[in-house]
Amino acid sequence: MPEEAPPQCISSTDLIKRVGNYMNDRDVEKVNQAYLLAYEAHDGVIRKSGEAYIFHPIAVAYTLADLHMDVDTICAALLHDVIEDTDFTKKDISDRFGDVVADLVDGVTKLSGGRFNTRDEAAAASFHKMMAAMTHDYRVVLIKLADRLHNVKTLGVRSPDSRRRIAKETLDIHVPLARRMGMNTLRKELQLNAFKHLHPWRAARLEKAMQTLVNDNASEHQEIIQSIKDALTDNHLEGEVFGWEKNLYKLYKRIKKGKSHKQINKFTESLELRVLVNNSIDCYAALGIVHQLFYPKVGSFKDFIATPKGYGFQALQTALVTPQRQLIFVQIQSHEMFQIAQYGITAANRYPELLKSSGKSQMYLNRWLQQVEEIQSITGTAAEFLEDMKADLFLSEIYVSTPRGEVKVLPKGATPVDFAYAIHTEVGDKCVSALIDGEPARLNAKLANGATVLILTDQEAAPTPNWLNFTVTAKARSSIRSWIKKRKSHEFIELGEKILEKALLSLNSSLDKIPEKNIDETLKALNQENRDALFTSIANGNQSAKLVAQRLIDDNELAALDQQDKKDQLLLIKGTEGLAVNLQTCCYPIPSDSIVAHTNKQTGLEVHRDNCPSLARTGHSLQKDIFTIAWVDDTNKGSHFLAALNLSVRNKVGVLSNITDLLEKMNINIEDINISGDKDMKDMYFLIQVKDGTHLRAVAESLSNQSHVLDVSRVLDDKNQ
């Protein structure tokens, strides 16, 4: 809470007076010089509200001055739009105010230029840049949050679409970012203002309803507060008790999800109270006192002192019910915990005497900054980074522990894979299964609050793209993506080399026979950095292997080759090579099928059965697009492949059970079943795992012999094929 209410329209005099309360004369003069430069830079510029632009940076700086931020932060706040919107450069700022101020301003400055196709793409890039700067100096984000706060407070002059877009972005990015920084006072201001612009009618209705509730029950609420104060005094416990304004946006979200009554009255909405005492021991003593005073609601108690939230929040929380059926939500904290919860890393600036020995907020912030830096180092694009960070910012925490008792704070909905990556990247990469509270669990299982999880690993294991469908933490998702990209890059190189060797073999040559001089000349002519780049380019279809092969061979040798020597060679595959060779689900090719393939820039070699209709539909039926490929002789050793069967059956009781029982006896794993048809006849689709074509034919024959099974055919096959 601010020490004093800011003026309605903040002037430079107000700002100088504010910083003068805690800065020395030299620093105050530096702030004044920053104001003069900002005034010069923005002179003549008018905001959409009609006021001079300079009032915006003054307001941003004043918000940070209220947090007692240092002189460099205040100067950077005043100058935060100078690089982006005026002719002044980063060097100009550095020369006059030092590198620290210049770096802070640059960190807040959005990326500009014609490099982005969409507004979302530009926003993601700017967010990525800001977070990168934040890992070096967290004050960048504080300036950005203060900037957004003033912007969202003055949204009324914008168009409805613009208001909704900015308000939604604020709720999606800036509110959870403020929360993750532990800046709850700033978070609540951002949240309420954004809510009022995103849903003005709903916000007004809720605000009016809550005000009516407070007014109608003021005397009863005051009696409750006084009774708690008296109980603390009677037990010789020093403390403060006061009401707390309910978060309207959270109330709106609860009502929208059906988790709160739409009618707002004393029986449906709790009275929120704060109890502040001197230390953590007194917190537990106060908890006992209020539990003796009113009836505790079963299952409502939470201890965030023993297990703080991921951003350092500490409190005891409990719900109570009075004899008059008034629900009370009580949060108990020490004075230090309360100030840290409101102001996060800046609490020590505002209350140096109270918090002079406290480094808790800095410790939690440093942990998070380290994690952000790690995620940045392995994330590919700005859009992916933004997506991953959103997952981490929207924390509804659960607490999960290792068998040794080490607690990990994870978002609600986290899985054993998220937990494994929270322990260590290598544990995540090698995890194969988990035990949750001693019971075997799948890797995509949702972890419950308080669970104990043991991760089982295998050195031969590796992440799969499917993990991205259920992991939620930024650490897990960015690590999985990084592994896939590295693996994919390696496999594309191997595939490209294999395709080029095939092309050279058709010319009675090989890479080993090609002079190094020819390779260097070819790389230069094709603008390829090295061999790996050339192989990758061939694998993703950007270079023709046949043309590259002909370029590599001397003209004389090429001319000497008889036409009969120039024979196409089969490209042999196992079908289990990994991410660069993909058996297509439109036709499910298996060993012994006649197969063809074409290259795809994203997925590598796409393998089809040669009669697959999708080839013609996508324009790959032309011979120039098709690779001649075949299965290696030992493909089916230990491997299984997906195959699809269509069954026509009579709609009789037990027919499905008979089919699945038969497949179980044949040790056939069923991946998917789909049933359609009418009351007399049913068409059943089975996706199963088989070794090869011979194995599939044996399965189909056994199914054909079942009673009520009229026909069995492979998907895409003609009848009786």
Q: Which residues are catalytic?
A: 84-85
> Rounded to 5 degrees, what angle do the CA atoms 131, 139, 143 make?
90
Cα distances (Å, whole numbers) of residue 524 to 15, 477, 527: 61, 37, 5
Contact (CB, 8 A) for 447 and 400: yes
Residue 96 and residue 75: Cα distance in Å, rounded?
Answer: 11
| 575: region left, alpha or beta (phi > 0 left; psi from -120 to 50 alpha) | left
For residue 452, list its beta bridge partners.
Answer: 401
Cα distances (Å, whole numbers) of residue 235 to 228, 286, 323: 11, 9, 22
The amino acid that residue 143 corresponds to is I
Chain position carrying tokens 């877009």: 165
H-run or E-run covering 64:
helix 55-66
> Rounded to 5 degrees, what angle do the CA atoms 604, 527, 603 make?
10
Q: How far is CA 635 from the centre of its chain?
A: 39
SS3 of 566, please? coil
Contact (CB, 8 A) for 167 and 173: no
Q: If you ran DSSP here, which 8-state letter would residue 442 be given?
A: -
Contact (CB, 8 A) for 653 and 701: no
- Residue 44, classified by CB atoms within 10 Å of its CB into exposed (0-12), middle (13-18) or buried (19+), is exposed
- Record the tokens describing residue 616, joined without a space: 């013609």
Contact (CB, 8 A) for 260 and 268: yes
For residue 455, list its beta bridge partners.
Answer: 434
Chain position carrying tokens 């609540």: 188
Q: Where are the strands (E) in 393-513, listed by range?
A: 397-401, 407-411, 431-436, 439-441, 453-457
Chain position carrying tokens 């309910």: 246
Contact (CB, 8 A) for 232 and 241: yes
Buried b (16+ CB within 10 A) or exposed e, 345-375: bbbbbbbeebbeebebbeebbeebbebbebb
